[in-house]
Structure 1
Amino acid sequence: MGRPFAHRVKTQPLSAAQADRQGRVTRMAIARFGDAAAVTAFLNTHHGALGARPLDLAIASDEGLAAVEALMGSGAA
């Protein structure tokens, strides 16, 4: 039968700053979209204006978080 999880990619845990940015962008997306499916779709889908998935960009740096927040605040999200 094999080992179904044998090829699971190991990832590094988020740093405290990355976890904080992840929480901030998630809370803002919930406030902006309300619906869990819409929040998940926005955060996890490549966005052309950002050139990346919003969640990845927000977690990566303060500048990325600011770009995602600005996009959501502009109503263009």
Structure 2
Amino acid sequence: MQKIICKKVYDTANSTLVKKVTCGEYGCPEGYEESLYKTESGNFFLYTNGGASSKYTKEDITRMSAEKAKAWLKDHE
């Protein structure tokens, strides 16, 4: 997935996956995934996607500061 935020391109295909967290099983309507990525220029973003009844009903990309990315990683150890 690719998204432009504030004139910067965030692309899952051209970034490094740092960590992926899944909740529920594949196909479960309440299930979802959160994947933290780092771009070549050092920017972080969170890719989210989930089932129809999950908190992420549509796939999306949200940019994150380095501090928030570090906190997200700590919360998902």
Query: So what's the TM-score if we normalise by structure 1?
Result: 0.29
The structure whose residues are more often strand, as a share, is 2
Query: So what's the TM-score if we normalise by structure 2?
Result: 0.29
